[in-house]
């Protein structure tokens, strides 16, 4: 996606709730080699941090910060995450299992789209500002190739409200999402123009801007306005009307 021009191009609604911008469909899915996905509200139906907060009776407070961050109203995503994490201090680790078992579902069309990408020979990457407790399970469930997310710190069976430092840093924010996409592409020996990036929130824009094709899935208006493909109704498989096998 050309970061300089894509946002200024008009969108065309080729089907109800399916918009394209800056490209002429159909494209060949096989012309791409890598697809990178956000997790929360993209691959799955929830924002995990909001649902964990429900266990502490703080969902409304945390969700308000999440929503503002995803709309791009809080410029410093890392600071917004730290503020939300602090509100989770003391939540039992068991609450994570309850969120996964009782509230988390794959979004409609996700399995179909992921399977189509894999069948076309694309490598699959999950890169999330969420948490490895959930991303590792989604990685396995969808048979993805790579994943990166934040690690919640736990002590005595309860969340500390902080993240575990990793060799590459501590927080997967928008800049880290972009860096991971570019790093995986380089390791594969491909250019970023051969990558697809799928997201819904403002912190996905850096990786979407680096990719050759950006897909906004039920995304915030700011994200829809900068995507090649925007799906505002129906499932993720609708992207296959543009990216044909």
Catalytic residue among 38, 50, 173, 200: 38
* Nearest-angstrom CA–CA distance, 49 and 128: 12
User: Rounded to 5 degrees, what angle do the CA atoms 79, 131, 213 make?
Assistant: 85
Instruction: Please answer whether residues 30 and 245 qualify as being in contact, where contact means their C-beta atoms are separated by less than 8 angstroms.
Output: yes
31 is catalytic: no
Q: Which of 31, 40, 145, 173 is catalytic?
A: 40
Query: Residues near 216 by Cβ (< 8 Å), separated by ≥ 6?
Result: 199, 200, 208, 223, 224, 226, 227, 229, 230, 231
Measured CA to CA, the distance from residue 68 to residue 50 in angstroms comes to 13
List the one residue out of 84, 55, 95, 94 whose CA is nearest residue 171: 84
Strands (E), 25-64: 27-28, 34-37
Longest alpha-carbon distance in the chain: 55
156 flagged as catalytic: no
Dihedrals φ, ψ of 139, to 5°? -55, -50
Q: Give the residue numbers annotated as catalytic, written as ranges.
A: 38, 40
């Amino acid at each position: 996606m050309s970061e300089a021009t894509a946002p200024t191009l008009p969108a065309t609604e080729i089907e109800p709730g399916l918009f394209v911008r800056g490209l002429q469909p159909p494209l060949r899915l096989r012309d791409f080699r890598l697809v990178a996905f956000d997790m929360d509200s993209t691959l799955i139906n929830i924002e995990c941090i909001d649902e964990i907060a429900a266990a502490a009776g703080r969902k409304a407070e945390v969700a308000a910060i999440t929503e503002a961050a995803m709309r791009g109203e809080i410029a410093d995503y890392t600071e917004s995450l730290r503020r939300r994490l602090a509100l989770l201090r003391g939540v039992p680790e068991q609450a994570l299992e309850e969120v996964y078992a009782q509230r988390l579902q794959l979004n409609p069309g996700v399995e179909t789209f992921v399977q189509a990408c894999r069948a076309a020979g694309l490598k699959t990457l999950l890169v999330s500002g969420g948490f490895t407790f959930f991303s590792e399970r989604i990685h396995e469930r969808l048979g993805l190739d790579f994943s990166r997310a934040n690690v919640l710190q736990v002590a005595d069976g309860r969340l500390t409200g902080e993240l575990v430092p990793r060799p590459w840093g501590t927080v997967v924010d928008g800049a880290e999402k972009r860096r991971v996409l570019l790093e995986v592409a380089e390791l594969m020996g491909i250019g970023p123009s051969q990558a697809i990036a799928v997201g819904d929130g403002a912190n996905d824009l850096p990786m979407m801007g680096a990719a050759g094709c950006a897909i906004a899935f039920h995304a915030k208006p700011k994200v829809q306005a900068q995507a090649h493909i925007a799906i505002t109704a129906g499932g993720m498989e609708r992207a296959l009307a543009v990216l044909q096998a």
